[in-house]
Structures are given as C-alpha cells and as structure tokens.
Structure 1
C-alpha cells in the first residue's frame, strides 16, 4: 500500500492532530509502507510547495492563501498531482471539516479509497456551523470508511451515517518516550522553583474549549489555602492571554505561582511531565487528548472532566478525578484533594501507567488502521 496522510497541521506545529499524524506515519513507515504527508503551512508562500524527507517520510507542505476557498482549491489540485506522481492508493484525512473534505473529493476523483478521521472539534463544534455542516455531511457519506477517536464522537457521526461505517480507534502513546523519570534538577533551577510546593501542569492549546477559565478560577481558590504552582504550556490564544492578564490583575499571588510557557517539543516536554505532581485539563469538550495519555504514561494523576473520549480514558477515582465541565467548585475540591494526598497521587499515577500500557499501545492503533486500509468495503 502507498498511503497519503492528509492533515491541516503537522510538526513542528504543536497540537493533537499534528502529534497523531506524526505518530501513525512513523508506525506505518516502520512497518514497511510508503507514507506521504500532505499538509498546509503558513511559512511557505501561497500556492508553493516545499518537499522534505523527515525520518524517511516525504512531507509536502503547501503554502496557504489568505482566503480559505483558494487554499482548498489549490490543495485539491495539488493532492491529485501527488496521487498520480507517487501512485497513492489510500488517502487518510485527519479532521473531517478541513482535510477530510479535500481527501474524499480527491479519492472520488481518482477512484481510490479515502478514509476520514474524526478528531474532536470537527464534530464537537464545526458541525453546528451552517457553513461547515454540508461539507461534513457530504464528507462522511462519501468516504470509504470513517475512524473516530472516541465513542462519543462516533455516536455524533452516526446521526448522519450508519454506525457500522464508523470505526473507533483510540489515540495511543509512546510509553518508551513518555515514562516516569526523576525530576530534572537543571530544569527546576532554570525555572527558579523547588519541589517543596506541589506543581500542577496543563499542556495543550490555550483556547476556551480546554477550560482555561475554570482552571484559572479554581487555581485562585486553591491559593487561598494552599501554596502550589500552575504551569500552562502551549500556544495560548490572544483571548486567553487577555483572560490570564485579567486573573493576574485580580490575584497578586499569580505573579509568583502561575507560569505561562510556550509550546515544547515531545522529546523535551516529558521533562515537564516529570516535574509535575498533578496533571489538570478541565476541558469543556474534547476528543481524546494526547496530553492526558502522555501524563498517564508518566505516572501522573489526572484531574479532568467527564466529556468526550476522556471518559473512555480516565477511570474515576482510580487513575484520576473527573468533574463536570465548567464545575469550578468540584474542580477546586479535586485539586485540593490530590494536593493534600501524596499517597493517592502515587497510586493513581501507577494505575494510569498500567492502563495506557494495556489499552492505548501504538501497535494496537497501527493494527486497527491497517485493517481498515486493507478492507475492501
């Protein structure tokens, strides 16, 4: 098989889709399949292509236009040329409302199989847009097969297409890279903090759906009775930076205890996981966050919300604590509960590591994808 993975985001971009595509591309390559990545880039001139070879995988980056419809038109035309040039016979598109539509269109045009992968916001949010809904509906109905990272998203898609067409394939995590290690003392010194006070960590894209408001609100309440540090690491949207500025203006303690850091590459981010005592991601809605998988692999207890695929990942009271999305009172209680119980943090962390090793192994994700690629249905 000769496979093209189509995605609007790829490394060095930081985000769930980029991380997932890089992971599956590497697994496919190691198994012996030809893999081509077709993606978009703001660092390439509009309409121009830059091709690189990264870890034995061809990566085609196409420059985006200011107008979305122009980008889609050129991406479709470019993808059709790539299919011919590299004799592609499988297109796997990540994110229905972006790459998905282009991939299925090209698959239909070239008479090859097109698989589309539901990731999160594509159905959790974009489906409610009058502009996006027709594209999503057409893409799901005309794809050769559909994958979903969670049961929740699969049931959403089943409103539009038969459930039998949808395959639930959970994200996985590299447990060789993400594992418990001793805290990096050099990093601690660089950050000018000590391990005497609990360290809480959030890693991901700083946007409303990740529950940043609830996190900041709950953390301010925690600081009323406990000293703890909160790290927020990732691309932070301007509206969220404004929110952080607002909270800092109301609570002087945040100057010392709240730390905002830019995105960090996976090879280095593991050092931060191993500094943290608790990982927290109070999403309002989500697919199956890679960051939670990574945190569990590093034996961190997780405080999160009962939404989307998170409920399939975290075991309440065993690997972490879940509260309802937006429930600031119970989020505060959960934070204080684990801050005050090092023994509980340790037992939850070990249980989390065991769970990802058993259920979220990369080879399982690879096998389930290859099975769909080989299917004639």
Structure 2
C-alpha cells in the first residue's frame, strides 16, 4: 500500500518496469530532488527493495508492469496508471525503460499531467527484425507523441533515433555529457585490499588475469559470444580467468556451466543482482561487454572508474564510452574471433592494461562524475516545473 505524504511542494512521479532500475539509475537523483519536491516511485516490486531511498518525501506505489508485450496486462496497467496520476495530480511524470515509458506517457497525457518526461536508455527493437522491429518502433513513436520532454543517456543514441526516423532532430536532449546517473568515482575506485580478498575467496592467483562480465545474462548482451570467445582464449592462455556476475534472464546458465566444466577453477559464476559491483570490479583486470545493443552503459562507466580497460562491441552507446586504443578495445559486433583476439591481446599485455585503465578512469572523472549529472537533472527540473504548472 502506498505511503501517504502531505506536502504542498510540487510532485514528481518516476515510473519504471522494475524497482532495480529505480535503485541503480535514479537513487542519486531521487535523493537530491526530494530536497525540493515530493517524489513517488512506481514499479513492479516491494518497498523493501528500495532500501534507504524511501523517506517522508519519497513514497512507493507497487504496480505490475510486464517487460514483454502482454496486451491484457498492459491495458490493466495503463488504467491503473491513469487512476494513480488522476488521484495524485502530479506536476510531472518521468519514465524509464521502454514498456513503462509507453504506458506511463500515454496515461500521463490522458490524466492531464503537464510535464511528461521519458529517458531513452536503449532500444529493444535494435536487435529485432521484420514486423516485430517495425511494431516496436511504432510504439516508440507513440511514446514520443505522448511525452512533452525527451531525454537520452547519450549523444549517439540521439543520433541513432533521429537516423531511424523515431524522432526529429532537436526533440531529444542529453543532460551534461550524458549518462543516466553518472558515476560515484569515490565508491568506484581501485581497491587493492578488496582485490586480494576477493581473489583469495575465489582461489584466483594474484597474477591471474580476470575477465569480468557484470550485468543481466541476456542473449542480446552477448553472453553466449563471451563464453565462446573465452573458450578460445582459455585454450591458449592458462593465466586467464572469467567471472560472470548477474541474474540469468535468458536461460544462459547452462552455457556458462559448459565453459566452467571445460576449464575447472577458471570460470566463476556469481548468481543474482549484486549490490556491490565495485568488489568484483576490484578483483578484475578487464571488463567485457560484447553487447548487441546498448544505451550509454552505466556499468561500463563504473568499471572504467575502477581503472578497468574494456573490451566491448563496436556499437552506438558503447563507442561513446570506450575510446578504442585509449580506454579499451572495441571488437566487431557478434564476431567471436575478433572478440577473442582482443581479449587475448589485452590479457597478454599488463602495461597496456594499466595504461588503458588509467586513461579510462581519468575520462570518467572528467566527463561523467555523478555530481555533474545530478546537478544537470536538478537544473532541468527547476526549469521545467517553474515554467509548466498544473
């Protein structure tokens, strides 16, 4: 049941499909904005999952929003959103994730919410083909029609959406230099003590080279590509280890297990969502993101802040974070041979890893500090809610 808040301040509602998105992406914004506004968070999940985010100024409204297309359940969610928005008379509704964006922008428009903001963090339809791709693109166009303001987490994503005819030039804005929440560069900084402790826990030799994948286990994140590439690298270099951290959302556990069985003691699997990604990054030497589609990936920025060089796909969003040959190495999308070659090259050259890692952290500290991004969001809201009133 939703906590009741009595306050005369202007009201903002953030909507996401799941609470994890709100925790990982919006926590710093919510904490800062709640100093000025009354905040309500809407997502599928439980209030206990939001930890220290909730307060007298921040309430939670659970609502089941399916990630995949489900016409009847989507319709029910739409009706519930319209009801919630009518009841609370929000000054602004701000959505994340594709499905939550579509439903909440339509609902907010029908409910008469004056400021309707959606943040694009990547497109599901990028890796689709045929009628499904066409349909999903049309749904994004409906979302844009219903919104008053559009944000994207990176400039390359804006260019892509314009190129694909989803939005007109100038319609979508990027705050600061990009990134949905920036990086806490103090929390995400090299930690030799944690490195030694975690390697000891997993029985990884201190001189071993650890390749880390941290994120949702999805096919379009390239997890299968990574397993195949590691299979090639591990055969020729016994010093290379693989650590896979995250929640399996695409039945890929068996694929990771196959590689683990083939190379006993060299593949380490940490199941579920971690609240301490910096610990696994501290224990690693290379961050790998062989994704088929991305926005401006936050985890990629966080690993860079930990002075980890990246080996990642040459796709929009990723190329905005990883400067090839300067902060990491890019491989051709879905090219397992190229991915393996880049992993092998960087794993074999310690001096290169150090040089790339130092440059990666320096770049994050200059362009993506969390304080800069949070301030940009606060300024955005100060302007919007002073000029558009209910």
Query: Are positions 1:176 and 2:186 aligned together?
Result: yes
Unpaired runs of at least 5, structure 2? 1-9
Query: Are positions 1:151 and 2:161 aligned together?
Result: no
Contact 1:7–1:99, Cα closer than 8 Å, also in 2: yes
Q: Distance in 2 between matches of 1:248 and 1:272?
A: 18
Unpaired runs of at least 5, structure 1? 45-49
Shift of 1:318: 1.1
Residue of structure 2 equivalent to 1:211: 222
Query: Are positions 1:22 and 2:27 aligned together?
Result: yes
Change (3 A) 1:243 1:53: closer
Shift of 1:347: 1.6
Change (3 A) 1:166 1:64: closer
Shift of 1:259: 1.3
Question: SS at the partner of 1:76?
Answer: helix
Q: How many residue pairs were aligned?
A: 361
Question: SS at the partner of 2:192?
Answer: coil
Q: Distance in 1 between matches of 2:73 and 2:252?
A: 28
Shift of 1:301: 0.9
Shift of 1:247: 4.2
Aligned CA-pair RMSD = 2.8
Shift of 1:131: 4.3
Q: Distance in 2 between matches of 1:52 and 1:258?
A: 32
Change (3 A) 1:73 1:120: same
Residue of structure 2 equivalent to 1:230: 242
Q: Distance in 1 between matches of 2:249 and 2:105?
A: 31
Contact 2:125–2:136, Cα closer than 8 Å, also in 1: no
Q: Distance in 1 between matches of 2:271 and 2:231?
A: 22
Change (3 A) 1:265 1:244: closer
Structure 1 residue ranges, 4+ long, deviating more than 6 angstroms after superposition = 50-53
Contact 1:123–1:156, Cα closer than 8 Å, also in 2: no
Contact 1:126–1:133, Cα closer than 8 Å, also in 2: no
Shift of 1:78: 3.2
Query: Are positions 1:278 and 2:291 aligned together?
Result: no
Q: Distance in 2 between matches of 1:119 and 1:233?
A: 21
Query: Are positions 1:39 and 2:51 aligned together?
Result: no
Query: Are positions 1:244 and 2:249 aligned together?
Result: no
Residue of structure 2 equivalent to 1:160: 166
Q: Distance in 1 between matches of 2:337 and 2:376?
A: 40
Deviations 1:273-320 (A, max 9, x none): 100011111112211111111101111111111112111111111111
Q: Distance in 1 between matches of 2:211 and 2:42?
A: 37
Contact 1:206–1:240, Cα closer than 8 Å, also in 2: yes
Match of 1:220 among 212, 216, 231: 231
Match of 2:344 among 336, 340, 344: 336
Residue of structure 2 equivalent to 1:348: 356
Contact 2:43–2:65, Cα closer than 8 Å, also in 1: no
